[in-house]
Chain A
Amino acid sequence: MHPVVPQPTPITRVTKELSDTFSIHLDVSARGFSYRPGQFNMLYLFGVGEVPISISGDREQGQELVHTIRAVGGVTRPMRTLKTGDFVGLRGPYGTYWPMEEAHGKDLLIAAGGLGLAPLRPAIVHALTHRDRYRRVIVLYGARSPDELLFLKEVERWRGRMDTEVAVTVDHAGDDWFGHVGVVTALVPRATFEAKDTVAFVCGPEVMIRFTVRELERRGVSREAIWVSMERSMKCAIGHCGHCQYGSHFVCKDGPVYRFDRLAPIFHVREV
């Protein structure tokens, strides 16, 4: 069988997250499925197309996978009509993952912008489930406006914990918003962590990554301790089609999660 052949996989639940964003829960109990936080799958809509989507979580470990999708174009928009009992094609998991062990015994800082929270959620859940492995756990999350905040109930739960610092911000808000207003990078200087002993995971739009890394470096976190997740065009996810190339990297197999120092030589060059 060709490695790009997708496997039909039933949808057990669809949940609406935001006006243009929804999550689909997939039943993978028939084949078993293991993944690491930060990895992605290729999701295929019969005859329409296939898109790379991060695994945003799982329930009952390896039984039910969650993907959170923003409807933006040719494939993800028609995916909005998916409902319980429908099937999507699935192949994966692909790519590198958040290196949880790197942060053991250290402060773990997680910064997410917009939909970037989706691939970070399994890392946050994992850290909070094994909370004693880390010193401080800090989650910084920003979205454009209050109605674009993802997984809000869950974020509230994390915020309610005494052992976790959670800060949420939005770029713009009306009078009914009592939280921070401003970009997520502005939260970095205010967060409590020991720079020399911190590991940071960052995911969001590329500009958000750029400025967050800058703030982290300003606080004294080294490039070797910062991990970022990159997005590029992907057709095959197996290192064959060439679309995801970024300098010498194939983002589908050497990424999407990179230690920042490995990208540093090309990160600031335009249009690489």
Chain B
Amino acid sequence: MEPAGQRNDTIALSRNALAGLVNAIKLDGFAVFGPTVRDGAIVYDHLDSLEDLPIGVTDKLAPGHYRLAPREDHALFGHHVGPHSLRREFLIPVATLFRARRTPQGFAQIEEPPPARKLALFGVRPCDLAAVAIQDRVLLNDAYRDTDYAARRHGVLVIAANCTQAGGTCFCASMNTGPEARAGFDLALTELDDDTIVCTIGSDVGRALVQRVEHVPASDQLLERARLLLNDAATHMGRTMDPHGLRDLLATTLEHPRWDDIASRCLGCANCTLSCPTCFCTSMEDMTSLDGTEASRLRRWDSCFTVAFSYVHGGAVRPSLKARYRQWLTHKLGSWHDQFGSSGCVGCGRCITWCPVGIDLTEEITALRQPGGS
């Protein structure tokens, strides 16, 4: 993904041309990943062609509720976000960071080539792209660089799909990450109807790519239709949350009675952290081969909802569920600003959808904004 400077031009494509675009990407040797239906959910997985997209399928999202449903049209992108985010592709659930062989000098690292794969993301959502930028800030652009993450992020081609309708748990408009992608893409698509797609060019790579399929400059009329659709999505979000002042709110409400109330509902299952596209907490596990001559170190997704997460010799720092939920929410919406200069939430709504008891952070924030009992 190369920035194209100020040249953010727009073109219009037919669905056929878009299918050609997928083929062109594949011809260039990319593995194409995008939304597809699998096991009753729309997940990001391998796409062979445009036909693998969830054509004419949508997802109904509500707190603790996710269900696929047919659409009346044949929209390619008439759905929202599923349980998987792009985190699985870059900060993979289990990675080997280090392997070594025992030697007379202690041990010697077994050098392995960095993971190499030409990856194209096709039809990914603006909130998910914003989440990748947030994880980049943590794992690439801080004092240290996670080389496994860096190798997987390198040279990724990004074709985003803007959202022309919002889901029941979406609030990207509040978090300023959608429904239109503003950065981090080579091409961004806005699907107007079953045969008209407006495409914003975001990089020189994207520009070269569209030259290989039939297209016309987007007319003012098409641009206006796209604008209206995106505007409609932005004003019909399933959820809203005023992001202003959250850092200070959460820093000053650590003793608010609402935390006890949340703790009485939360199961501590960690679904929210595992579905969240920005959560980056991991654990490291060291192990040896059966004969003890080789050792490896794995990096594995972890969650602040487990008691063991904060364990130091002598006990856990956050034994209570109240403290663990509070850690999650204060980090995501509050202290993330201190740490990385942005919110840790992109408003994708996954934590609401996939919470088995339907805990909704936007509601909890509303409650925390009310003065606490005592």
Cβ of A1 and Cβ of B318 under 8 Å apart? no
Cβ of A73 and Cβ of B282 under 8 Å apart? no
Cβ of B284 and Cβ of A269 under 8 Å apart? no
B146 contacts which chain A residues (CB < 8 A)? 2-3, 240
In the bound assembly, the distance between CA atoms of A133 and B322 in angstroms comes to 48
B292 contacts which chain A residues (CB < 8 A)? 47
Cβ of A271 and Cβ of B282 under 8 Å apart? no
Are A4 and B98 also in contact (CB < 8 A) when A243-B310, A270-B323, A272-B254 are?
Answer: yes
Contact of B107 among A49, A89, A250 (CB under 8 A): A89
Residue in chain A with minimal CB distance to B149: A240
Q: Does B361 contact A (CB under 8 A)?
A: no
Q: Does B338 contact A (CB under 8 A)?
A: yes
Cβ of B295 and Cβ of A233 under 8 Å apart? no
In the bound assembly, the distance between CA atoms of A236 and B311 in angstroms comes to 14
Instruction: State which of B20-28, B53-61, B137-145 sits at the interface with chain A.
Output: B137-145
Are A47 and B286 also in contact (CB < 8 A) when A8-B106, A239-B144, A250-B339 are?
Answer: yes
Cβ of B282 and Cβ of A242 under 8 Å apart? yes
Q: Does B215 contact A (CB under 8 A)?
A: no
Q: Does B327 contact A (CB under 8 A)?
A: yes
Q: State how many angstroms separate the Cβ of B170 from the closest Cβ of chain A.
A: 26
Q: Does B335 contact A (CB under 8 A)?
A: yes
B267 contacts which chain A residues (CB < 8 A)? none
Q: Does B313 contact A (CB under 8 A)?
A: yes
Cβ of A233 and Cβ of B339 under 8 Å apart? no
Residue in chain B with minimal CB distance to A90: B106
Cβ of A50 and Cβ of B143 under 8 Å apart? no
Q: Does A185 contact B (CB under 8 A)?
A: no
B299 contacts which chain A residues (CB < 8 A)? 4, 241
In the bound assembly, the distance between CA atoms of A239 and B139 in angstroms comes to 9
Cβ of A46 and Cβ of B283 under 8 Å apart? no
Cβ of A240 and Cβ of B282 under 8 Å apart? yes
**Contact code string B252-283 (vs A, CB < 8 Å = 1, else 0):** 00110000000000000000000000001111
Interface residues of B (CB under 8 A from A): 97-98, 100, 102-103, 105-109, 138-139, 142-148, 251, 254-255, 280-284, 286-288, 292, 294-295, 297, 299, 302, 304, 309-313, 317-320, 322-323, 327, 330-331, 334-335, 338-339
Question: 7 smallest A-B Cβ distances: which pairs?
Answer: A87-B106, A8-B106, A47-B288, A271-B323, A242-B281, A248-B335, A47-B295
Interface residues of A (CB under 8 A from B): 1-6, 8-10, 44, 46-50, 72-73, 86-89, 231-233, 235-236, 238-243, 245, 247-248, 250, 253, 265-266, 269-272
Seed contacts A6-B98, A47-B286, A245-B335; 12 additional CB < 8 Å A-B pairs? A1-B147, A44-B286, A47-B294, A50-B286, A235-B282, A239-B142, A240-B139, A242-B280, A243-B302, A243-B309, A250-B339, A269-B255
